[in-house]
Structure 1
Amino acid sequence: MDADPLDGSAAPSWPGRSEGDPRPGATPPAAAAGPASGGTGDVERLRRLLGTEPLAWLVERVRRRMAQGQPLAGVVTLPKATHEQRRAVERLLGRRAGSGYSLSVSLDEVDRMLRHSGAAPDGLAAAVTLLTGPVDETVTAAAAEAAAWAAARAPLEGLVDRRPELAPWLAWLDGTGLLRRLAGDPAAAGALAGPLVAVLDGLPSPGVALGRLATTLAGDAHALDDGRPLATLALAGARVLAGSGPAGGGSAAERRATWAAVGVHLDELSSTVLCLGLPGGPGSAAGRLLAVAHEAGEPCVLTLRQVTGRGGERADPGVGAGPVFVCENPAVLATAADELGRAAPPLVCVNGQPSAAVLGLLDALAAGGARLAYHGDFDWRGLRIANGLRDRVPWEPWRFDAAAYEEALDAVGGGPLSGHPVDASWDPALRPALERRAVRLAEELVLPALLADLAAAGRGVASA
């Protein structure tokens, strides 16, 4: 029952009603158009039946229901009805309207009366439209728009159902309204959703150029260029897949590192890897570069182009089945170069999130049988990097487990640990240890122990 406390003391102001016109049933301009205003009917009879001032409250109730997309059925009630309002309802329906504090009218009864009398053969809605002009169905339109947005978003929900690790990304999109802001309307959002799902479903990649990924999955080589809507949305998902938050830092270096972390490189020259002590060999250009650097005891920077070689031919690192140490931070490698020089054993630096060049070189080393040993920062980001790397290539911890963490904390101090906890796939005891001690331990703080290991390994390599 509609019991809105509209007492009918003031005439409503629907579109086209003459403001300040005291005459009951004053003709609104919209009604002058007759049937062209919507539906068919006898406008003059409708003015006499429904267009009087005592029935203005009823017409307004009907308009409100039409605007809200509600059915014109059931009973509407007017509290504090006046004698004139009761008499008007009696004249409209041809029966007594009852007595009491409130006045109730059946919309179904009014609709039947209007249809059968011929005043409005199309019913109550058409009658109100003829009298007062078209109704703006705002709620109906809003519901239709909401349904359109939901349909546009549905492919993203399907993606998250298949890959639950992307749930934080979709929650962030919903919370920030980023998809709506970038797309502008549901049709554009739907057009974005298909390529977006295809791109994220293809990550992480075994190693592909960004332009080729865009061409293959989005049909446009520039669809993933910086600033394009698809790139912004996909990059947020890539960050989550790489173990970070969806927002990111916004710098070009951060974007490049994010793509690299999921196996996508911007080009073959901007992606690089820093290494030391790799013997190299004559079988490839990169192998010869490594050999020269090794002879000089100097670090070597290889591009992705040099790592993969022309035609996809891999570099020749010259290690074979020997040991290779892998560190997270360049300071470790730089110090090893300074202190050990030519005596340094093979060492590769991932430099934060591994780039495509880093992954390519480690793939080549692993394919040759090298035994990788990894060390990184004792913090949540360090664990995420290590987990991602372990998903790509096999490695054993190098002073990078719970026992090493506890031992290091007894000798050096660290900083406060912050961020979202994550398990260490290689040592289930490491996460509880970090949570219990709540201390972040950067790789540089244990540099003396790492250098001692590298020196011992270098002597072993030299004597072999």
Structure 2
Amino acid sequence: MKSDELQKLQKAKDYFSSTKGFARLFKAMAQKYQSLGRWAGSVTLTSFKDEERDALSTLFRADFSRRKSITISLERFAKALELTKFSGISALSLLEEIQGQSLLSNSDRLAHKERAKATFFNDLAVQYPEPYCQLWLEAISKKQPGTRSIQTTYDTRFDQLRVQMHHVLSALAAINKRHPNKIERLPMFARRITKDPHGFDPNSDTGRILLQALKILSSQLRASDPLTLALSGAEALTELYFSFGILRDDLWNFVTCTGITGSAADNQLLGYLTEAYRQQVTLNLPLREVVRIDKAYAAGQVVYVVENSGVYSALLDLCRDFCEEEGLMEMTPNPPLVCTHGQFKLASLLLLDKLAASGTLIYYSGDFDPEGLSMAERLLLRYPGQAKAWHYTLEDYQLSRSDQVLSPQRLKQLDRVSSPELAPLKEKLLKTGLAGYQEGILSDLWCDVKQSMQERI
């Protein structure tokens, strides 16, 4: 724009800004232009002050003194401007000068914002070429489920997101490069990447973003994983971290077992398992120790899994009594038994993974309720052909049935049970609405365990 045009534009701005009565008109026209993206449309003003009536009547050469509302098209304003001493200047340029900003249309502003966002994430993709980083950034660019918080934080707290993105992408790059057998504890991993041991805590903003990234990666890399189906709540998070080589909790997460031996990665027998096997000792194995086991073995290649600690101890008591009666105390190890203490923890599943890998058959007994059937089905899915529902027949249910009424909410969980093996029991539970407990079939469970012991003697 030439200097004389700039001077005229400045004078027009000074005039319309200093003359009372034009402020609302210019604000309404700016909003209209932004909404339409072009110089078109009309604005309507109501509840006039005297200075507004006077100013508008003068500019548009019309009598607005008796009007309750005035509708002015943007084109009419441009034509009226041409009839003033400011003719030749752009009505849009004047409007932008008065508003003090470039009046991009809403669509243009959105397009500009999206281009800036795309540039930001494209630059990150160049900086972090590792496959995990690329997969996650691609999910963000496609606005896939699980990335909404990233989009929101970009809009509201960009500077914070920029730091978080570099931390999370650095974490994904490190995970991508790790040795397959290397495990790192979450606080140590966070300290290495962010300089803060709490940097990836699940309840922190950055920790939540990392979790979202890991969930997206897990869904893309593993599709539907029975391991994930077998976990809920905190255990699901523990498994998710572990699947990427990060240990969240390796002490409180444990499994109880007896009658099991194992070896380390160098094929050397683990002495503590061997000695516990010989001395008929029950162990509470924390996840920290389970991950050290490379191969696990059960005598007779059969392991019996119960979720109730009382039933587990009762079976061991019956085993001890049987051995005393038969004079076998010094020569018979405990039968291979595992107790999960309710819902599966990662330690339980990893131990069963290692047993299954050695060809062990897994017999699972739980309560006759929606939770017990769901746990049984999860093992059937996880170990097809190797997991067996142990005493989950209608006859067993009749022996175990109680007067405990199952709520409609709990019965609804049975919708997810689809294994043919469990179908008759599922229908029976839906019909009676009564729970059954495995303590009622303890003698039958013991008969199976005793028979397996006798076959090994």
TM-score, length basis structure 2: 0.62
Does 1:231 pair with 2:207?
yes
Does 1:399 pair with 2:387?
no
TM-fit CA distance, 1:55: 4.1
2:171 & 2:260 partners in 1: Cα distance? 40
- Aligned residue in 2 for 1:24: none
Of 318, 322, 329, which residue of structure 2 is paired with 1:339?
A: 318
Does 1:328 pair with 2:328?
no
Of 421, 431, 437, which residue of structure 2 is paired with 1:427?
A: 421
Please say if residues 269 and 305 of structure 1, whose CA atoms lie closer than 8 Å, have aligned partners that are also in contact: yes
Give the gaps of 5 or more residues in structure 1.
1-38, 162-166
Please say if residues 8 and 89 of structure 2, whose CA atoms lie closer than 8 Å, have aligned partners that are also in contact: yes
Please say if residues 261 and 355 of structure 1, whose CA atoms lie closer than 8 Å, have aligned partners that are also in contact: no
- Aligned residue in 2 for 1:58: 25
TM-fit CA distance, 1:371: 1.6
| Count of residue pairs the alignment pairs up | 399
- Aligned residue in 2 for 1:370: 360
- Aligned residue in 2 for 1:450: 445
Structure with bigger helix share is 2
Specify whether residues 355 and 367 from structure 1 end up closer, same or farther in structure 2 by C-alpha distance, changes over 3 A only: same
2:434 & 2:141 partners in 1: Cα distance? 39
The alignment partner of 1:412 has SS state of strand
Of 269, 273, 277, which residue of structure 2 is paired with 1:290?
A: 273
Does 1:185 pair with 2:129?
no
Please say if residues 380 and 388 of structure 2, whose CA atoms lie closer than 8 Å, have aligned partners that are also in contact: no
1:447 & 1:142 partners in 2: Cα distance? 71
Does 1:314 pair with 2:304?
no
**367-376 vs 389-398, which deviates more?**
389-398
Of 259, 269, 280, which residue of structure 2 is paired with 1:277?
A: 259
1:424 & 1:78 partners in 2: Cα distance? 66
Please say if residues 238 and 346 of structure 2, whose CA atoms lie closer than 8 Å, have aligned partners that are also in contact: no
Specify whether residues 207 and 213 from structure 1 end up closer, same or farther in structure 2 by C-alpha distance, changes over 3 A only: farther
Please say if residues 186 and 247 of structure 2, whose CA atoms lie closer than 8 Å, have aligned partners that are also in contact: no
1:212 & 1:44 partners in 2: Cα distance? 65
Give the gaps of 5 or more residues in structure 2.
1-5, 122-135, 220-224, 321-331
What amino acid is aligned across from residue 393 of structure 1 in structure 2?
Y
Does 1:209 pair with 2:183?
yes
Please say if residues 362 and 393 of structure 1, whose CA atoms lie closer than 8 Å, have aligned partners that are also in contact: no
**57-66 vs 359-368, which deviates more?**
57-66
Please say if residues 184 and 246 of structure 2, whose CA atoms lie closer than 8 Å, have aligned partners that are also in contact: yes
Specify whether residues 47 and 302 from structure 1 end up closer, same or farther in structure 2 by C-alpha distance, changes over 3 A only: closer
Q: How does 1:129-208 map to 2 (within 5 A)?
A: 130-131=97-98, 170=146, 185-186=157-158, 188-189=160-161, 192=165, 195=169
2:279 & 2:243 partners in 1: Cα distance? 31
Deviations 1:63-117 (A, max 9, x none): 5547878655212234577998667445424578899764332212323554786
The alignment partner of 2:86 has SS state of coil
Specify whether residues 124 and 146 from structure 1 end up closer, same or farther in structure 2 by C-alpha distance, changes over 3 A only: same
- Aligned residue in 1 for 2:348: 358
1:114 & 1:230 partners in 2: Cα distance? 55
Please say if residues 375 and 400 of structure 1, whose CA atoms lie closer than 8 Å, have aligned partners that are also in contact: yes
Please say if residues 207 and 264 of structure 1, whose CA atoms lie closer than 8 Å, have aligned partners that are also in contact: no
Please say if residues 343 and 375 of structure 2, whose CA atoms lie closer than 8 Å, have aligned partners that are also in contact: yes
Does 1:108 pair with 2:75?
yes
Please say if residues 63 and 128 of structure 1, whose CA atoms lie closer than 8 Å, have aligned partners that are also in contact: yes
2:262 & 2:18 partners in 1: Cα distance? 95
2:306 & 2:155 partners in 1: Cα distance? 42
Please say if residues 281 and 291 of structure 1, whose CA atoms lie closer than 8 Å, have aligned partners that are also in contact: no
Does 1:74 pair with 2:41?
yes
Specify whether residues 291 and 45 from structure 1 end up closer, same or farther in structure 2 by C-alpha distance, changes over 3 A only: closer
Please say if residues 368 and 438 of structure 2, whose CA atoms lie closer than 8 Å, have aligned partners that are also in contact: yes
Please say if residues 90 and 97 of structure 1, whose CA atoms lie closer than 8 Å, have aligned partners that are also in contact: yes
**93-102 vs 415-424, which deviates more?**
93-102
TM-score, length basis structure 1: 0.61
What amino acid is aligned across from residue 183 of structure 2 in structure 1?
A
1:141 & 1:98 partners in 2: Cα distance? 38
2:249 & 2:86 partners in 1: Cα distance? 74
Of 405, 416, 424, which residue of structure 1 is paired with 2:406?
A: 416
TM-fit CA distance, 1:350: 3.2
1:158 & 1:330 partners in 2: Cα distance? 49
Deviations 1:284-332 (A, max 9, x none): 342x4334333333313445565555xxx7245253x632212223333
**142-151 vs 335-344, which deviates more?**
142-151
TM-fit CA distance, 1:369: 2.0
Deviations 1:206-256 (A, max 9, x none): 98735499969x96696644554343355578699834998x47xxx8965
TM-fit CA distance, 1:404: 5.7
Identical residues among aligned pairs (%): 19
Please say if residues 416 and 440 of structure 1, whose CA atoms lie closer than 8 Å, have aligned partners that are also in contact: yes
TM-fit CA distance, 1:372: 1.6
What amino acid is aligned across from residue 312 of structure 2 in structure 1?
L
What amino acid is aligned across from residue 454 of structure 2 in structure 1?
R
Please say if residues 383 and 424 of structure 1, whose CA atoms lie closer than 8 Å, have aligned partners that are also in contact: no
What amino acid is aligned across from residue 326 of structure 1 in structure 2?
V
Q: CA RMSD in A?
A: 5.6
1:146 & 1:299 partners in 2: Cα distance? 62
